[in-house]
Structure 1
Amino acid sequence: MDGFIAQFDAPVRRMPAAATAIARRLLAAGRLPEAWAVVEHVEARQRDEAPVDWQEVRAEVLEALGQQEEARRFRWACFAATLQAAHLRTFLRRLTDFDDVEAEQRAMAHALAFADVHQALAFLIAWPDLRRASALVLGRAQALDGDRYELLSPAAGAPESRYPLAATILRRSMIGFTLGAGRSSRYQHAARHFQACRDAAMRVENFGAISDHSDYVRALRAAHGRKIVFWQAVTKLT
């Protein structure tokens, strides 16, 4: 154990990754005061961006020291700040029946109001809570960044069968960015999103405040009718 710790210089031990590795070994060996000292010596400026592993080992050391309530508070604070599902799952497992249900509802409400809509969407899709993910998209559509295709594209596929309007909004966001920014390398993807919007339109009972598919197509042609490569890709998929 001491030989392992000696591999790290003192400044390195104050970094989250090294502190996590050392603290886990100390925790397993039952050297709790030392484990606590290691996790607490992480530099304050690095704590806000510390990896989940460091946050989790800190909570585990607290529990081992008999400070269960403090560990619960810490896990909730970590989840509230990051929407990391791992923190919430562990937090809920530590609660009694019925308390965990109430806590999960509070967590979902927190996610819906989270400042970063993309982080909130990623969490709700992964949890999964597709009903709330759909509500998030419908309520905060204007905040979506269509350039975040690595998130929006799989997110659109997740709720599509049950929540076609939310899927449509996500896909329109990506189409709008692609055409507006002239990202020709993404035109084929945008064409597939366009066709998916057309197919989903038949399952949308009420478009509400957004335009239906026919009006959307007219507006898209008016704004981007000269993007010939895109429209040719759409035609090939028809």
Structure 2
Amino acid sequence: MNSQMPVCVPELTATILLVEDDRDIADMLSEMLVQNGYTVVSAQSGAEMDRVLRRQSFDLVVLDVMLPGEDGFSICRRLRAEARTPIIMLTAVATDVDRIVGLEFGADDYVTKPFNSRELLARIKSLLRRASYGSERPERPSAMSFDGWRIDPVSRTLVDRAGSQIFMTTAEFDLLVALCLNAGRVLTREQLLSLTHAGVAGPVERSVDVHISRIRQKIEPNPKDPSLIKTVRLGGYLFTPRVEAS
């Protein structure tokens, strides 16, 4: 990790839960985040995290994969089943498989150890901005309808044909909004990363594929033969439905 602490005027005010059993890493991250205007609470295990969550809620979770007892993947899956709080996973294994497993379990982003402090800080700011915790919120598009579905970027809700709200992670929701705003246009993975990461370099391109797969499971009549989100060979993805203001 980069030992030089990045310090800047905070753009966002948020409370962050750091789940990390390595004291040195936890202390370094806590110091960096506090210096940048965030409130930080630390936990060293899933059990300790559960006790903390019973007392308060958080705007973002930084979660290590390798923890004593319950591992980070299992914890991520539990957290995602209960809330849409943004989750950044820290992994010491720099393989696509390890990263993709975390994304499949509902993580919004990941950072590989050893990491650059500035990169992690940028990713945290990006996720918080996308999750609408910024003090200055950019103008957002109005609600949209497609194929019987309704998506509202302001309330960040997706409602199906029966009127039921469908749970989505921050990354999934932002990808679907980007697709709706560009319906009928092929978007490359690089364009989708740019549109959903506020200009900050995002995860590897394959993470887009994982999130698209999860979105298909939620909105496609037949996820194995998708009709709403088409894969364009050597191109990217095409959102086929007609999208209208709702």
Q: Structure 1-normalised TM-score?
A: 0.31
User: Higher RCO, 1 or 2 (CA under 8 Å, sep at least 6)?
Assistant: 2
More helix per residue: 1
Q: Structure 2-normalised TM-score?
A: 0.30
More strand per residue: 2
